[in-house]
Each structure stands twice: as C-alpha cells, then as structure tokens.
Amino acid sequence: MIRALIIVDVQPTFCEGGELPILGGDRCAEDIAYFLEKNRDRYRLLITTQDWHIDPGAHFSATPDYVDTWPPHAQAGTVNARIHPALQGFAYDAAIRKGHYGAAYSGFEGMNDEGVSLNALLTGAGVTHVDIVGLAQSHCVCETACDAVKYGFSVRVFSDLTVPVTPELGEKASRVMCERGVALVRSCDARW
C-alpha cells in the first residue's frame, strides 16, 4: 500500500487571531508538526491544501451567514493565507490551492501551481491510501475526505489532528464521514 498525507488548510486565517479563527487551531498545527517529525517517512507524498481566494465572489460577504457566505479570509498572497508557521519547515511534495474565484471546500477542487489536480497527483504517484489532518474537521477536512473516498482511495482522518468549527458541527461531520466510508482514528492508534 502506498500512502499520502494531506494536510488541509492549516493556515493562520483559520487559527486564533485569524479572520475565521477555530478554537484549537494553533495547537492542531503544532500537533501535526510533531506527528510529521515522527512519521514523515511513512508517506510517499506529503501534500498541503490552502484556501487561496483571489476574487471568490459571493463566498465573501459583509453580512455573512457562516453557511454559504463568510467574512473575507485566506486572501491570496497574504501572511494569513500561507501555511501555518509550525508547518513551514517541512519539505512538501505539492501545495494545492483552491477557491480562487469561488467557494471550494475540498482539496480535490484545487490544483498546484502547474495546474495539476490533487487526484492526478495522488494517482500519478500510485497512492492507494490517504490520511487526512487539518482544519476544519467540520468543513474542508470532511469534504476532502469524502471526495477522496469518491475517487477510490482508502481514507483515514486522524481525529486528534483536526478540530471542528463547533462540537456540534464536528459530530455531524463525523457521522457523514463514517457513512461515506472514512475511518476516523487517533493517530497514535493508526496501523501501518
């Protein structure tokens, strides 16, 4: 089996002090960095995804409903759109950016700077198993995991390396992922 790790949207914009802060976002970034230090060699590919909004239209709103519309966040080229500082010291195989001109929750909606999609990168490297971590468990992690299943990958989300926007939304996302065939496990319980 060939594994990839996808680190979803761990950006300052979604952490404490950012435009759309998630409680525990900074700690999640630090925990993922610790996991990488111990487990990088288990993965054929190490991929990050980022919200990277250039002009996302109605995705941004001055009066957001926090369902379909949001305050401006992850604006392309800004410090808060970059990878979280805790994760900047690692060598990544690809950076997938999404949401340039509209809403995009799944990493499978984005592409790297060469225009290659996440699915093409994974299949091109012979990846069969995908582990997913990052922000937010209730939104972009859930959507990326469900799409990974749809594309035929065996998928795990490490529940201790992601946090939801709210506990209630996290519970809902967990149910959705389980129904779609995503395995939710703690990273310390992962079987290799």
pLDDT digits (tens, 9 = 90+) for 154-183: 999 999 999 999 999 999 999 999 999 999
The question of whether 113 is a catalytic residue gets the answer no
Count of beta carbons in the 10 Å neighbourhood of residue 123: 14
Contact predicate 100/54, CB 8 Å: yes
> Exactly one of 51, 98, 142, 147 is catalytic; which is it?
98
> Exactly one of 28, 140, 142, 146 is catalytic; which is it?
140
The question of whether 26 is a catalytic residue gets the answer no
The question of whether 28 is a catalytic residue gets the answer no
Contacts of 158 (CB under 8 A, 6+ apart): 35, 131, 132, 133, 185, 186, 187, 190
pLDDT digits (tens, 9 = 90+) for 57-113: 999 999 999 999 999 999 999 999 999 999 999 999 999 999 999 999 999 999 999
Predicted TM-score of the model (pTM): 0.97
* Cα separation, 100 vs 55, whole angstroms: 6
Contact predicate 7/48, CB 8 Å: yes
* Cα separation, 128 vs 4, whole angstroms: 8
